[in-house]
Amino acid sequence: MAHDIALDDLERDALTEVVNIGVSRAAASLRKMVGRQVLLSVPAVEIVTHKAAAALIGQRESEDLVAVKQDFDGAFSGRALLIFPETRSMELVRAVAGDDIPAEDLPELESEALSETGNVILNNCLGTMANMLQRSLTMSLPEVLHGRGEDLFVNAQGEDGGLVLFLYINFSVRDRNIRGYIAMLMDLPSLATLKVLIADFIARVTADAG
């Protein structure tokens, strides 16, 4: 089974580029929301186990995390997570809500602001990716989770040893101390489908650019 979903170098590059496009579109949306430049790092894509994904986040972020979760369904299905350190969430809320909101009102807005931000980013990202792969996806309503890396990835996809397509991308908002990750959790059939779609994508673009 495992080698069915294992991506070769080119497929990995292709998936990375699809993510790159999706995240760029998401960043553009976020840019509009906060009115500031949003910088993105070069995305890294890995397919790892839930546990490894938890460890990966846990190792990179030593503090508690906040995640905006959205399930998606379509040609491939799974769960998308926008993750950032809890201490930075208020910064994001402030960036989205604007400087004219009094500081004492921010906590009330937190959950709503995070949900909305997450929704914009994840919708744009996944929507764009689906578009690039010439498929469509439906997205559930966003939900805010708190916890450590382990808490976010456990039970996300049941106990079937599901893998995580871990899109590791750092985004930061200029003048705001904000950074975060995007993770997509998919089961094996979805990953197999994704692999096929990626191959098609490669064929299409290399032919276009020829």
Partner 1 sequence: MTDEDNSVRIAELDSRIREAERRLNLVLDAAGATGGWDWDISTKTLTGDARFAALMGIDPVGLAAGIATSMFFSSIFADDQKRIRLAVAAMLAGAEVFSKDYRLLKADGSTRWVHAKGRTVFNEQDEAIRFVGNLVDITEQKRIQEQLRVAETAGGIGTFEHSEGFGTVQVSTYFCRLLGLHPTPVLPVSTVNNLVHPDDRPIIEAIVTSEPLADRNVEFRITRADNGEPRWLARRGEYVKDLEGPGLRYIGVAYDITASKIIEERLRRANEALSERVKERTEDLNRIWQNSRDLLAVLDLDGRVRAINPAWLEVLGAGESELIGKTLQQLSAKGSDGAPSLPTATAGSTRFEYSLRHADGTERWISWTASREATAIYAYGRDTTFEKAQAEALREAETQLRQSQKMEAVGQLTGGIAHDFNNMLTGIMGSLDIIRRRLAAGRYGEVERFIEAATTSAQRAATLTQRLLAFSRRQSLDRRATNVDDLLGNMSELLKRSLGEQVRLVVDVGAAWPIVTDGNQLENAILNLAINSRDAMPAGGELHIFARNVTLTPGQIAGLDLAGRRDFVALDVRDTGTGMPPDVLEKAFDPFFTTKPIGQGTGLGLSMVYGFAQQSGGAVEIRSRPGQGTTVTIYLPRSETAEETGAASTARHVPMGLGERVMVVEDDTSVRLLVVEVLRDLGYVPVEATQADEALDRLGASPHLDR
Count how many residues are written for the chain. Answer: 210
Q: Which is nearer to partner 1, 9 or 99 (CB)?
A: 9
Interface residue with partner 1, options 60, 73, 146, 161 (CB under 8 A)? 60
Q: Can residue 103 be called a binding residue for partner 1 (CB under 8 A)?
A: no
Burial (CB count <10 Å: 0-12, 13-18, 19+), residue 114: buried
First to last CA, the chain: 34
Q: Can residue 199 be called a binding residue for partner 1 (CB under 8 A)?
A: no
DSSP category for residue 157: B
Q: Can residue 17 be called a binding residue for partner 1 (CB under 8 A)?
A: yes
- 35: phi > 0 → left, psi -120 to 50 → alpha, else beta; which? left
50 close to 186: Cβ distance less than 8 angstroms: no
Interface residue with partner 1, options 134, 138, 177, 206 (CB under 8 A)? 206
Q: Can residue 62 be called a binding residue for partner 1 (CB under 8 A)?
A: yes
Binding site for partner 1 (CB under 8 A): 9-10, 13-14, 17-18, 20-21, 23-25, 27-28, 40-43, 48, 52, 55-56, 58-62, 128, 132, 202, 205-206, 208-210
